[in-house]
Structure 1
């Protein structure tokens, strides 16, 4: 075989590439202004950003001016010691040049690290003087957090606050009064083994709050009231207690994501006042027959939504499946355009979907996903999917669009009704 003739241009390009040295690359970085280099460094985790100080003399202190800091006293990836944490906190925060703004601070301090815990108050006070905007405190024990709680809620420049708290034994968390966080837009609370006291006094003082994320465990009663919240993500996990009452009074709410997992099975009452709600995602795990009225009550409260995603995992103990929604409980969705339903589509639940179709006059799309419930018993075939087979030849997923056209809607209702009445 004849060899291909070599390309002289390609050989010249290869030679030029090989002639480049590391110093050329460093010189190219050196051509960038300090402000741009600091911005690039701010995207790195602080332990890695600190390592740029060995590149050259110019980089020695650039990382200390990063507007984003992560101070972690337990870093298993880099095996940071308490001494390294203290040194890094001193250089990057406590001795920070006031001309270098601090926008974001993430603190994670080991419960068994007394040196790091002793510095937290000083770090927060220094961050407050630098007009901190975003504060995240990860995996703090409540006993360590309570002494610094007043400092956190006096950082008036905060836009976003995220607190992840846990407790060895169940304790009650009470927020201080006289809070003046007038700029706070987003609040995230993850509380593990902590009894949440009344949150409404805190919400009433956060006059600019728009986004709330709340995750709590074993809460028997929860009431949320705010005039400003527009987006809410609420996750409730009750393993030992019943969730008796859930009340939401949020007149400005537009987006709702609600997840409830009640292993004990009792869910008495859900009330929601949200006249501006446009989109809702509702998820229930360990769903029992006695929860059906509470879910129906919630759906009637939010029947004006435009998009609805309903995800229910049934707890099926009996041999006969139960209806998630009975005909009289299915609300009329006059504004609903997009509906996603994920549940065990046995005969009764398919009938409920047909009823929802009849009650949604302007619905455009319908997505149905079959999900086997938590079945206990021998006759598992009772809960086999009743969905019609789709183009892929399976009956675990169905999608219908253009349902705002009357002929399409009638055809889908006829198809589902036929599957609902058919015997397997």
Structure 2
């Protein structure tokens, strides 16, 4: 063994320890640069349990797209070889000062629907809404939390779609269809405990009904709501504002 190899004890660590090191960088872009070190490091970063792009001065959308595409390809290859990588428990793409068109966001959501078994966070600068600014939220069967703030018209999955593991939803600065709110009921989100729709706007004045056997916290601020019906026996905190028939804010702590 030559002296250089002897000194490089980090590269000789097992993959799970290397993943722990790279995750602590808190930056997938930085982790990806380790692929230049040697053949040993080429694919290590593609198996991280957390994918994070949250530097406001960091990579553009093309870099995010390239990274997710490489991860998808490597994951598919490992699955074909019966060597599954660790489950992806977090995908965070946070550029709060940058705007992106819907066609840039759609691949990120599609990636999450295929690979995520944990938290999704997409936080972008708000856009001046146009009619074509529609973003489809795909079904994510293993996602436990979804946080989206992007300033788009957000279309929820059709009736019959089941978010079996979802416990927390936070949607801000979006427009939504009032009829889509049934997505947050027990029939489609049976484990949902926290729901934050604050602030959003309904595309038309609509009656909204949320019926949940698991919901404990609801923050609701959606213009064009008339009225809001909440049926949730486990609800501990309700805060509502912006209903069409009353501009007053209501914050109601509930006792069990």
Fold in common (TM above 0.5): yes
Q: 2:183–2:189: 8 Å Cα contact kept in structure 1?
A: yes
Contact 1:69 1:105 in 2 (8 A): yes
SS in 1 for 2:18: helix
- Counterpart pick for 2:67 among 88, 94, 104: 88
> Which of 196, 207, 226 is the matching residue for 1:213?
196
Query: 2:151 — aligned with what?
Result: 166
What is aligned with 1:47?
29
Q: Which structure shows the higher strand fraction?
A: 2
1:225 aligns with 2:211: yes
Q: Secondary structure at the match of 2:117?
A: coil
Q: Which runs of 5+ in 1 are unaligned?
A: 1-22, 271-281, 283-297, 306-424
**Other structure's SS at 1:157 match:** coil
For residue 249 of structure 1, report the CA deviation from its aligned partner: 2.4
Using the alignment, how far apart are the partners of 1:129 and 1:144 within structure 2?
Answer: 23
Assess, with a 3 A threshold, how the Cα gap between structure 1 residues 237 and 228 changes in structure 2: closer, same or farther.
closer
- 1:112-261 matches, within 5 Å, as 112=101, 116=104, 120-121=106-107, 124-130=109-115, 132-139=117-124, 143-146=132-135, 148-149=136-137, 152-153=138-139, 155-167=140-152, 175-192=157-174, 194-204=175-185, 205-217=188-200, 223-230=209-216, 232-234=217-219, 236=221, 245-254=227-236, 256=237, 258=239, 260=241
> 2: CA distance between counterparts of 1:165 and 1:248?
26
- Judged with a 3 Å threshold, the aligned counterparts in structure 2 of structure 1 residues 33 and 94 are, in CA distance, closer, same or farther, namely closer
Alignment correspondent of 1:389: none
**Structure-2 separation of matches of 1:185 and 1:62:** 30
Residues 83/203 of structure 1: CA separation in 2 closer, same or farther (3 Å cut): closer
Residue of structure 2 equivalent to 1:325: none
Q: How many residues align?
A: 232
1:77 to 36, 44, 57: 57
Distance 1:185 1:82 in 2: 28
TM-score normalised by length of structure 2: 0.69
Shift of the alpha carbon at 1:233? 4.4
Q: Which stretch of the first structure deviates more once superposed, 127-136 or 91-100?
A: 127-136
Q: How big is each residue's C-alpha offset from its partner over 1:150-196, in whole Å with a ceiling of 9 and x where there is no partner? A: xx22x3222222222424xxx6856521112222222222243x254
Corresponding residue number in structure 1 for 2:14: 33
Change (3 A) 1:87 1:175: closer
Which gives a bigger RCO, structure 1 or 2 (Cα 8 Å, sep 6+)? 2
How far off its partner does 1:200 sit? 4.6
TM-score, normalised relative to structure 1: 0.45
Query: 1:176 and 1:113 mapped to 2: Cα distance?
Result: 19
Contiguous gaps of at least 5 residues in structure 2:
none
Greater C-alpha radius of gyration: 1
**RMSD of aligned Cα (Å):** 4.0
Q: How far apart in 1 are the matches of 2:94 and 2:134? A: 11
